[in-house]
C-alpha cells in the first residue's frame, strides 16, 4: 500500500534523527538497569500488542492462559511456568517483577503453574516455529568483529540470512505470518506464527529444520572447524534461490568487507573449504606460488576460480570434474548461507527471548524488523533503555509549558522515542496476522453452514 510506505519512510527518518542525537549522550550503565526497568515496563513496553500476538484473537481454547512464560529477575533468579489469564494480569505482574529477561515457551494442555501437581500429564500442544541465528557462528568468516561484537559490515550476514529464510518459509512452505526480531546484541530470531506451523509436532519441526540446514561441519587439516556445503549433481531449487541472493553479495561481503582470503593465512582458509586432501594441498601450493604476499582477497578468489576452471577442463576424470565440480558455488554458500541453531527449531518446548525485552548487557531493545529491509537495519543504532527514558523526558519537558491536550489526543509514550519504528513493524505484523485469523474463522463458519 503506497500510503503506508510513505508514512513508514517518514517515521524512519524522524526516528533515525532521534537516535543520532540520543546515542551521543545516553550512556547505558547495567548497574542502573533495576532502576530503569520499572519505568520501561510501565510506560514503554507494548502490553496490548504483545497480548494480541500471543492470544491470537482467542481463536483456540487456552491459547493465552496455557502459555508458559518465564522471567529472569535481578541476580539471575529464574522463574519458569508462569501463566496469565488476561492482559491486565500479565501487565500487572510485568510491572511488579520488572524482569531482566522474558522468555516465551509453548502453549500447554493445562495451566503451566499446575506443573507441580500434574507435571507428568503436562505437555506442549502448540508453539510458534522459531529460528535462532547468532553472529558468533560466523566468526570463522568475519574479520571485522568477533565474539560479542557486531558492526554494519558483519550485520550483512544477518540481513542475507533473513532474506534467504524469509523466502524459503513463504515459497517452500506457504507460511506468511513471520516476525523477525533483533536479539539485542548480535543475533536475530524468527517466529513463524501460522496455524499450521504452530501445530507442528517435534518430528515436523525437525523436518523443517533439517530441510533448511545445508551446512555441515568437518575438521580441517589445520585442526579448525570448517563449514562446508555439498551441492551434488543438481542444485536443489531452495538452494538455488539462496545462491541467487548470496552470489551478488559475495564479493562485497567476503572479499571486500572481510577481505577473508588475503595473506597466506587467508589462502589456507580458502583451501580448507576443499574436501579432497590432495586437491586442497595442490591448490594451496599453486596460490602461494603464483600470488604475492598480502594479495587482496579479491585477487586470490579470481586466481582460485581460474585454477578450478582449468583443472575441471584439463582433467575430465579427476576429482575436479566430479566431487569438486561445484566447489566455487559451494564455498560461496558455506560462507554466507544461514547458520541455524537447529536445536532451537526442533525443540517443541524450547523457550526463546521475547520481543521488546531489554538485553541486560547492552541495554538495547529486542526490536522487530522487516526482513525485506534487513540490509538497512543498523544494530549499532538500536536504542538502549537509557536513551529511551531520556527521549521521553526530553519530549515531556518540551511539552510541559504548552497547553495541555485532552486524554484522547495524548501521545503514547513509545511514540515519543526511537523505539517507535519497532512497534510500527510489530503492529503491521499483527494487522496481517489478525486479518488472516478472521478470514480463517469466516471460512470455518461457511464450511459449518454448508454441512
The residues annotated as belonging to the active site are: 68, 132, 134
Burial of 213: CB neighbours in 10 Å, binned 0-12, 13-18, 19+:
middle
Closest by CA position to 356, among listed 431, 426, 428:
426
Supply φ then ψ for residue 446, to 5 degrees: -65, -40
How far apart are the two ends of the chain, measured CA to CA in Å? 37
Closest by CA position to 264, among listed 293, 232, 241, 286:
293
Grid coordinates 510541559 are at which residue? Answer: 400
Contact of 273 with 222, CB cutoff 8 Å = no
CA distance 103 to 70: 5
Residues 6+ apart with CB under 8 A from 401: none
DSSP characters over 336-388? HS----HHHHH-TT--EEPTTPBPTTT-BB--EE-GGGGGG--GGGSPBHHHH
β strands within 184-292, DSSP E: 187-192, 216-219, 225-228
CA distance 391 to 394: 5
How many CA atoms does the CB half-sphere of 365 hold within 13 Å? 29
Residues 6+ apart with CB under 8 A from 443: none
CA distance 221 to 379: 35
70: left (phi over 0), alpha (psi -120 to 50) or beta: beta
- What nine digits make up the cell of 153? 559490515
CA distance 256 to 297: 7
Q: How far is CA 266 from CA 273, 290, 307, 363, in A?
A: 12, 15, 17, 36
Name 182's bridge partners.
188
Residues 6+ apart with CB under 8 A from 396: 416
Amino acid at each position: 500500500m503506497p500510503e503506508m510506505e510513505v508514512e513508514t519512510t517518514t517515521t524512519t527518518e524522524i526516528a533515525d534523527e532521534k537516535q543520532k542525537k540520543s546515542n551521543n549522550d545516553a550512556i547505558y550503565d547495567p548497574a542502573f538497569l533495576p532502576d530503569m526497568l520499572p519505568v520501561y515496563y510501565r510506560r514503554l513496553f507494548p502490553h496490548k500488542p504483545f497480548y494480541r500476538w500471543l492470544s491470537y484473537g482467542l481463536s483456540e481454547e487456552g491459547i493465552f492462559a496455557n502459555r508458559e512464560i518465564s522471567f529472569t529477575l535481578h541476580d539471575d533468579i529464574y522463574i519458569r511456568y508462569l501463566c496469565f489469564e488476561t492482559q491486565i494480569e500479565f501487565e500487572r505482574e510485568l510491572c511488579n517483577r520488572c524482569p531482566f529477561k522474558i522468555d516465551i515457551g509453548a502453549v500447554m494442555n493445562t495451566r503451566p503453574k499446575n506443573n507441580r501437581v500434574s507435571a507428568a500429564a503436562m505437555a506442549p500442544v502448540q508453539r510458534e516455529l522459531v529460528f535462532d541465528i547468532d553472529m558468533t557462528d560466523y566468526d570463522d568468516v568475519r574479520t571485522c568483529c568477533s565474539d560479542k561484537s557486531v558492526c554494519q559490515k558483519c550485520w550483512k550476514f544477518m540481513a542475507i540470512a533473513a532474506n534467504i529464510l524469509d523466502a524459503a518459509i513463504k515459497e517452500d512452505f506457504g507460511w506468511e505470518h513471520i516476525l523477525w526480531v533483533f536479539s539485542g546484541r548480535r543475533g536475530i530470531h524468527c517466529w513463524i506464527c501460522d496455524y499450521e506451523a504452530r501445530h507442528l509436532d517435534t518430528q515436523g519441526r525437525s523436518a523443517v529444520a533439517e530441510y533448511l540446514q545445508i551446512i555441515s561441519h568437518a575438521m580441517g587439516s589445520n585442526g579448525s572447524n570448517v563449514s562446508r556445503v555439498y551441492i551434488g549433481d543438481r542444485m536443489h531449487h531452495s538452494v538455488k534461490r539462496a545462491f541467487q541472493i548470496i552470489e551478488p553479495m559475495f564479493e562485497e561481503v567476503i572479499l571486500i568487507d572481510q577481505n577473508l582470503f588475503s595473506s597466506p593465512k587467508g589462502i589456507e582458509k580458502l583451501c580448507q573449504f576443499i574436501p579432497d586432501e590432495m586437491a586442497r594441498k595442490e591448490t594451496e601450493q599453486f596460490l602461494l606460488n603464483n600470488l604475492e604476499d598480502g594479495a587482496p582477497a579479491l585477487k586470490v578468489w579470481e586466481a582460485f576460480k581460474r585454477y578450478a576452471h582449468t583443472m575441471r577442463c584439463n582433467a575430465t576424470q579427476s576429482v575436479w570434474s566430479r566431487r569438486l565440480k561445484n566447489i566455487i558455488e559451494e564455498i560461496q554458500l558455506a560462507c554466507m548461507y544461514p547458520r541455524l541453531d537447529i536445536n532451537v527449531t526442533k525443540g517443541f518446548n524450547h523457550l526463546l527471548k521475547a520481543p521488546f525485552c531489554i538485553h541486560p548487557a547492552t541495554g538495547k531493545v529486542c526490536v522487530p524488523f522487516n526482513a525485506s529491509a534487513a540490509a538497512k537495519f543498523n544494530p549499532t543504532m538500536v536504542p538502549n533503555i537509557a536513551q529511551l527514558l531520556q527521549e521521553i523526558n526530553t519530549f515531556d519537558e518540551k511539552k510541559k509549558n504548552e497547553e495541555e491536550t485532552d486524554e484522547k489526543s495524548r501521545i503514547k509514550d513509545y511514540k515519543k522515542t526511537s523505539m517507535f519504528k519497532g512497534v510500527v513493524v510489530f503492529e503491521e505484523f499483527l494487522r496481517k496476522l489478525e486479518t488472516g485469523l478472521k478470514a480463517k474463522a469466516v471460512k470455518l463458519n461457511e464450511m459449518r453452514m454448508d454441512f
